[in-house]
Amino acid sequence: MALSPRPALVRPLALVFLRSPARVFPRPLARVFPPPLALVGGVVSTLTALARAQAVVAGRAQPVATVRHLHLHDHPMVLIPLTMAGEANAPLAAMAGTDPARPRLLTVAQPRNRDDRFTFAADLAGLLVPYLDSFATDTEDVPIDRGKDVRQRYVDAPQIWVPNPGGADFLRLFGRSTRFLKIDGEHPVPPAVPLLGRWLTFFANSAEVPGSSLLVNAIQALGLHWVTGQSSAEDAQFAVQLAWIESGAEAAREAENGPVAGPATDPDFDNRVLAPLIERSDPALPRVLHDLLLPTWERMWRTLALLRRLPAGDRVPLRWDTDRDAFTAFAQNLAEGGPPQPRRDGAVAAAARLQRLENAAARYAVQRAFDDPLVLAEYRLSGAAFAGVVTLANPDRVDDSGKRPVLRPRIMVHTTEPVRVEPGTSLTSPSRPSQKARVISINPAGDGHDVLLELSGGMGRRLVAEPGSVPTVGERLILTTLSEAYRPGGSLPDPAETPWTHGGPPTYDPPPDQAAPTAEPDASSPPPVLAPDAASPPAVPVLAPDAASPPPVPVLAPDGASPPAVSTAEPEAAALLAVPVADPDSAVSPAGAAVDPALGGDLAAVRDSVVSVEPAFAADPVSPAHPSDTDTRT
Amino acid sequence: MSQSSRLDQLRGSGRAKRHNARTIAALTGNPGCNRRAVLDAAGVDKTGLAERIGFPGSFGQSRFALSRGNAFEAMLKADDCALLRSVLDVRDDLDYTDLGEDSDGTLGDRSARTADLLAGARAALIDHPLLTLDIAGQTVYLEPDLIAYAHHGRLQVVEIKSFAIIDDQAESAKVSAAAVQAAVYVLALRALLTRLGHDPSLVSHEVVLVCPRNFSFQPVAVVLDVRKQLSTLRRQLSRLASVTTLVDALPAGLTFDLALEPSELVSALGHIEARYAPECLSACELSVYCRSEAAGSTGALGRTVREALGGIESVEEVLALAEGRMAPSEEQTEAAAVLQAALRLRSEALS
């Protein structure tokens, strides 16, 4: 639907759907990205679109990568969750395990029953936590502070595979619903349950980091390497997407009517099969669910095998190092008795997280392009990279105009590809990533252009270049504006110093809402109604917006357009879109009014995210008036 | 032949499928689709039609979801709407009127009572109201969950949904759908007030969405600003008026009577142009057929893919241009050059 741009008057989504499963928000995200990323974020490149067209004609999926861009663990855990329709993330079953021949099935006989649900959580913890713990054993030393010190890192980390983004969302919400539960008091849960919640939250958070391989979903992993001859919306069906890759279009059409990969079940299955089984507590339920999940289980392992055949990109291990760092840090945090992750980041934490995600996205985009000529080709098509042949080289050129003579070889590169760079731009060649090539001049020559480049770095310390460090005449080079150079982040204040513009220092996270859980209401017998507290009405709307002093209320302005599906080929975009960026206008309090210059220019770009966090507290209806935002109800 | 009998003829012997807020909202999802516009205007049973021609879709709703939705609504409305009043923060002395079931088979009675109640302009919560909206010359009956008369005399549409809002976040697709649906009610309510001689702006453009909060069954109310949805709807509905022109242009005697042979129905469908997009798969009962019809077009791969391919219609054409087997037309020249470069780069990297 072609919608006009959001009118300025409409206050964009304040609080709802910052991390919705769809993960696509019409937010002004583009401006927080450095330009090259626009290429990979959301827009389908002509190269990928052409591959889809080729897939249609060939009747088979087509590759869009020549190497594997994710770490593939030798012993991953596959986890396929199923939920109960209608409920808020109520688990129905899960098939999980590390051995393709021995799937473990966990089921919930009565998904609406709270105790059954926590038994499921405890069982899942019994399966998952020992697997995670098995990696928290051997460590290695990692030099830090230029080799003056070392820190420890586990030599390996776990890897969890789910079928689709919905599966990862399930884990995130299940983590949210379990990590605050109390193991003592009136309604204790087994100690493993909140621990599971914290682990799941950790994995769900790391899945948002572009390039992280701790929690991987199969659809995204496949989409990173192959495109099908159908729309990305149709690719969201795991069985169909895999069939395109394994067998082709015809098999894919047949797979459309096969069992779903969860977490939602098919309504028809619910009505015909599941409902009668649950109603009469039929002991056949586990077997039925086993049969339902088994095809997906097998497809997951076939997906792993398919990806294993691709050689890993050169920079994939670097990103796995980062994953291991994250795993080590979180395992240590747990061991030291750190608190559960907050429901919502404070302003400074949100800004820091956004910065980390942006850096990860930039790094991931560059690393993929440098690892994979097919990814780099997208940049060549858009003019951000070009290939050419060295026609002249002066490897011994020394620039002695400064205080000290420096080695500055020059080379001439002839290219027939479009060159969309200006003189003065610094380019990099993936074959010599530590060397910079500054564009001196670009002149039309023959059927293309001659680009004169001055090189610096990556040639040793002397005034004579190390052999092989300067491209020689006849060598074919690809040069790009992408760079792996370190991007320093902005400095952020201490959380305790959060300026008032950003809500001031974060207050204590409201008490966990599962404080007084009781039996889950059955849908057939609605629970008794809580007597509304007349003294302090809930801080909720606003039937009369012009009332004297309405309570601060989130105003939502959903976009009418159904959000476009994020192409699975662009996980970085998907992940980044999930960054809690919101519009300052959404703030009901004065928080949105101004940016404190104390936060510095670097923060301006992430200002929106920061201020969006604050009203969450201001408008959070969790108030003493309603302490019992129970998982269930009294 | 009058317009309505022409539409009756298109529908054939079956009973007319009535428009509801959901179908009106769906119309705005793909406004360029003439096929949907005509079939909906004629009230053709698209589910039946799709099944008859061998392209059934699956648009069921799980009874788990249904029962939870009903239970949630019943809980809110129990005890004279006690919980609903608390979550909406309205006074206890505000009248609650349940217009209930229809007293006769026609819907006119209830909609008249709704109008009476609103004409009285007393502060009230009005349950089971029935509104009307003219869609392409037809009167469509609409049933909002609730209308609330707020303190300052403004009317607000209240939508009760059973999806959860967790930590102030909900699925954007579901919130979007609810907002469009509520916007339809706002539009109908404003039309009614205009007919009653009141100021239509008494109806607030802010609607209230009541959902379960977090993992509980407790309600939470949030305000949605639906101005944008309203303007989109108005634009689409004014476009729909042109359905008359579309119908007039159809060959005389054309019908989608489900008693016809599938092959005849398929050829009848061929007279009305569809505009298939992958988004249709989740919104239109006939989408599976339209998809098979659109096979080989770049549009079937999604709008972004089509645009990235320079807007060229068919996949065959794209490849022919990329491989240089076909001379590009004038407006295709630029796209063809990019496609050729793309193909060269792909082949180079994959070789």
Return all residues near B69 (Cβ < 8 A) that are at least 6 apart. A86, B161, B162
The predicted complex's ipTM stands at 0.88
The 3-class SS string of B10-34 reads HHCCCCCCCCCHHHHHHHHHCCCCH
pLDDT, tens only, A558-596: 443 333 333 333 333 333 333 333 333 333 333 333 333
Around A495, how many Cα atoms within 13 Å sit in the side-chain half-sphere?
A: 13
- Scan for tokens 């990862």, then name that residue: A168
Q: Which pLDDT value is given to residue A78?
A: 97
How far is Cα A338 from Cα A332, in angstroms, rounded to an integer? 9
Contact yes or no for A351/A492 (Cβ under 8 A): yes
CA distance B166 to B76: 19
pLDDT at position A553, please?
A: 35
Greater confidence (A197 vs B76) lies with: A197
> Contact at 8 Å (CB) between A181 and A161?
no
**A82 shares contact with chain B (CB less than 8 Å):** no
Q: What distance in Å separates the CA atoms of residue A165 and residue A39, rounded to the nearest whole number?
A: 22
Q: Which residues of A touch B178 (CB under 8 A)?
A: 558
Q: Number of residue pairs across A and B with CB atoms under 8 Å?
A: 333
* B2 pLDDT tier (thresholds 50, 70, 90): low
Rounded CA-CA distance A126/A220 in Å is 28
Confirm or reject contact between A157 and chain B (CB < 8 A): no
Phi, psi of B142 (to 5 degrees): -130, 140
Contact B225 A271 (CB under 8 A): no
What does the mean pLDDT of chain A come to? 76
Taking only Cα atoms into account, the Rg of chain A, rounded to an integer number of angstroms, comes to 27
Asked whether the beta carbons of residue A521 and residue B71 sit closer than 8 angstroms, the reply is: yes
- Topology given in CATH for the domain delimited by A385-480: Elongation Factor Tu (Ef-tu); domain 3 (2.40.30)
**Three-state secondary structure string covering A470-519:** CCCCCCEEEEECCCCCCCCCCCCCCHHHCCHHHCCCCCCCCCCCCCCCCC
Residue B293 has pLDDT above 70, yes or no: yes
CB-based contact, A310 to chain B, within 8 Å: no
A623 touches chain B (CB under 8 A): no
CA distance B341 to B319: 12
Is some CB atom of chain B closer than 8 A to the CB atom of A389? Answer: no
Cα nearest neighbour of A369 on chain B: B349
Average pLDDT over residues B118-146: 76
- Name residue B224's beta-bridge partners: A556, B207
Assign B217 to helix, strand or coil: coil
Q: What are phi and psi of A327, to 5 degrees?
A: -65, -45
Q: Verify whether the Cβ–Cβ distance A43 to B279 is below 8 Å.
A: no
CA distance B158 to chain A (A): 10
Q: Which of B63, B176, B281 sits opposite A558 (nearest CB)?
A: B176
More confident residue, A170 or A86: A170
Residue A521 — very low, low, confident or very high, per pLDDT cuts 50/70/90?
A: very low
Chain B residues close to A523, C-beta within 8 Å: 64, 67-68, 70-71
Question: Among A38-42, A97-101, B221-225, which stretch is predicted with the lowest mean pLDDT?
Answer: A38-42
* pLDDT computed for residue A14 by the predictor: 29
* pLDDT over 90, % of chain B: 19
Q: Any idea what DSSP says for residue B200?
A: G
pLDDT of residue A222: 96
Higher pLDDT, A606 or B121: B121
Q: Is the pLDDT of residue B150 over 70?
A: no
Higher pLDDT, A505 or B317: B317
**Nearest residue in A to B277, CA atom:** A231
H/E element, B96: strand B95-98
Asked if A50 reaches chain B (Cβ–Cβ under 8 Å), the answer is: yes
Which chain A residue has the Cα nearest residue B67?
A523
Which member of A56, A620, A631 has the closest CB to residue B215?
Answer: A631
pLDDT of the residue at A6? 35
Whether the pLDDT of residue A27 is over 70: the answer is no
Give the residue on A whose Cα is nearest the Cα of B81.
Answer: A529
Q: How many residues does chain B have?
A: 351
Tell me the average pLDDT across B24-31.
Answer: 78
Contacts of A67 (CB under 8 A, 6+ apart): A310, A311, A312, A313, A314, A316, A371, A372
Q: A49-105, pLDDT tens digit by residue?
A: 999 999 999 999 999 999 999 999 999 999 999 999 888 888 999 999 999 999 999
State the DSSP string of A376-404. HHHHHHHTSEEEEEEEEEETT-EE-SSSS
Mean pLDDT of all residues in B9-29: 79
**Min CA distance, A627 vs chain B (Å)?**
12
User: How far is Cα A442 from Cα A424, in angstroms, rounded to an integer?
Assistant: 10
Inter-chain residue contact A532 with B322, CB threshold 8 Å:
no
**A169, pLDDT greater than 70:** yes
Q: What is the DSSP string of B175-193?
A: HHHHHHHHHHHHHHHHHHH
Q: Is A335 on the interface with B (CB under 8 A)?
A: no
Q: Minimum mean pLDDT among A236-240, A334-338, A554-558, B67-71: which range?
A: A554-558
Q: Which domains does chain B have, with CATH numbers?
A: 3-59+240-276 (no CATH), 63-238 (3.90.320), 299-350 (no CATH)
B330-347: per-residue pLDDT in tens? 889 999 999 999 999 999
Per-residue pLDDT of A365-393, as tens digits, reads 999 999 999 999 999 998 889 999 999 99
CA-to-CA separations, A358 to A211, A274, B110, B154, in angstroms, rounded: 11, 43, 56, 45
- B232 pLDDT higher than 50: yes
Distance, in angstroms, between B92 CA and closest chain A CA? 10
**Which residues of chain B are within 8 Å of residue A631 when distances are taken between CB atoms?**
214-216
Q: Which of A52, A343, A562 has the CB atom closest to B29's CB atom?
A: A562
Q: CA angle at residue A84 from A80 to A86, to 5 degrees?
A: 135
A63 contacts chain B (CB < 8 A): yes
Cβ–Cβ < 8 Å for B133, B142: yes
Average pLDDT of the residues in B173-184? 89
Which of B164, B173, B309 shows the shortest C-beta gap to A563? B173
**Look-up of token digits 């899960």:** A94
Q: Which of A17, A380, A633 sits opposite B218 (nearest CB)?
A: A633
Sign of CA dihedral A195, A200, A203, A208: negative
* Angstrom distance (rounded) from CA A284 to CA A259: 18
Instruction: Tell me which residue in A43, A556, A616 faces B304 most closely, judged by beta carbons.
Output: A43
What pLDDT sits at residue A29?
27
pLDDT at B19: 77
Could you report the per-residue pLDDT of A259-305, keeping only the tens digit for each? 888 899 988 889 999 999 988 888 999 999 999 999 999 999 999 99
pTM, two decimals, is 0.80
At B330, give phi and psi (nearest 5°). Answer: -60, -45
**pLDDT reading at B87 higher than 50:** yes
* Model pLDDT, residue A109: 86
B124 to chain A: closest CA residue? A543
Mean predicted confidence (pLDDT) in A120-126: 94
Q: Per-residue pLDDT averaged across B9-16, rounded?
A: 82
DSSP letter assigned to residue A272: I
Residue of B nearest to A627 (CA): B218
Q: Between chains, do B228 and A560 touch, taking CB under 8 Å as contact?
A: yes
Domain residue spans in chain A? 65-345, 385-480
